[in-house]
Amino acid sequence: MKITCTGRKVNLKDAFIQRVETKLAKLDKFFSDSAEANVTVTVEKDWQTVEVTVKDKGFTSRAEKSADRMEDAFDAAVDLLTRRIVKNRKRLENRVYQPAVEEFALAAHEVEPEEAYSIIREKRFSCKPSTVDEAILEMNMLGHTFFLFRDADTDEIHAVYRRKDGSYGVLIPER
C-alpha cells in the first residue's frame, strides 16, 4: 500500500510517520498492492484531527477522528476504519480480501452483526436548474445540511453541503 502523510498547520514528525506506516501495514491484508492511503493531520488550537482515506479498486474507505494528541486520533481512526471493513464484509466481498476479514473478525470477537439497509422513506422532488449560490440559499432556507440541484450552466446534478467548520462544499460527479 502506498502511504501519503500530509500535515495542515503542522509539520509531521518522523516518529508519527513511522507509526502511520506500521499501523497501516496491518491493513495491507485487506487491500491489494495498488491501494493508496492518505493520512491528513489538521491542527486547530488544542484539537488535532486525523483523516485516513484508503482507495483501492475504485472503492474508498474513510475515517476521521479528533483528539488532544494526533497519535490518539490516528489510532481511533484506524480502529474505526477496520471495524467498518469487518462490519460490512459481506457487502465488500469483491473489493477486499475476504480471508483477512474473516480472520480479523474471529480474532476480534466483538464484531457487530451485519444489519440490513432499511430505507424508511422515499422522497421525490423537482430538481430545478440553479447556480451554486442559489442552491446554498435554498438549502439554508430549508434548514438542511445538503441540497441536490441541477447546475444551470452544465445541466448536471450537483450537491452542495455545509461543512463542520461552517463553510460550504459542492459535490460534482465525474463522468
Rounded mean pLDDT of 11-32? 89
Give tens-digit pLDDT for 92-109. Answer: 655 555 554 455 555 554
Residues 6+ positions from 82 with CB-CB distance below 8 Å: 27, 104
How many angstroms separate the Cα of 57 from the Cα of each of 24, 102, 172? 17, 20, 21
Average pLDDT over residues 112-141: 79
